[in-house]
Amino acid sequence: MFFYNPFFGLDSFTYEGRPLLFEVIVMGWANPEAEDELLLFNAQPLIVTKMHQWVQDFMEEGRLTNCHLYGYAGQFYRGVTEGGYVVLVDVPDDLECAPGDDVQVRITNADNVRSIRAVATDFASAKVDMKLVTENFSHRLCRRTGVHSCTH
């Protein structure tokens, strides 16, 4: 689900003290010969579909947000915005950046959720907390998509 280190811990999958529940597709028995009755499941197709719908609804061109740069993708940097979505960042020559830096970006193209584009405008005024970003993203995704937000 994430193309970067989300820094998850066991506490990352709870919200207000209750576990997050996501819809899954049951793939079958983990080991049909075993007596433990463990199942294999895949949540990715359902989560990714909902996530793409959510990002498409949320994104708007021209929006400013802070972003953590975590790698390269050809001539662009890969970054994660404080909203939790991955963007390809064009960094102007006069802004000397490296993976690990936090920058402010302006979204320039949100037509394709698999290739959201942004341009760096300055260094970020506050550090992007990656663990908090990914936890908040998961919590919002779970609540927003109607995917059984939490147990009651």
* DSSP per-residue letters across 63-128: -EEEEEEEEEETTEEEEEETTS-EEEEE--TTS---TT-EEEEEEEE-S-TTS-EEEEEEE-SS--
Task: Give the pLDDT of residue 150.
Answer: 38
Local confidence band at 82 (pLDDT 50, 70, 90 cut-offs): confident
Interstrand relation of 117-123 and 86-90 (parallel, antiparallel or unpaired): parallel
What residues contact residue 10 under an 8 Å CB cut-off, 6+ apart?
A: none
pLDDT at 149 > cutoff 70: no
Residues of the chain with pLDDT > 90, as a percent, come to 31
Q: Quick one: pLDDT at residue 143?
A: 58
19 within 8 A of 147, measured Cβ to Cβ: no
pLDDT tops 80 at residue 114: no
The answer on pLDDT for 110 being more than 50 is yes
**Do residues 14 and 20 make contact, with C-beta atoms less than 8 angstroms apart?**
yes
**Distance separating alpha carbons of residues 19 and 21, to the nearest angstrom:** 6
Name the residue among 104, 133, 129, 130 with its Cα closest to residue 119: 104
Summarize pLDDT for 20-55 with one digit per residue, the tens: 666 777 888 888 787 777 888 777 776 667 767 767
- pLDDT value at 90 more than 80: yes
User: Which tops the pLDDT comparison, 29 or 15?
Assistant: 29
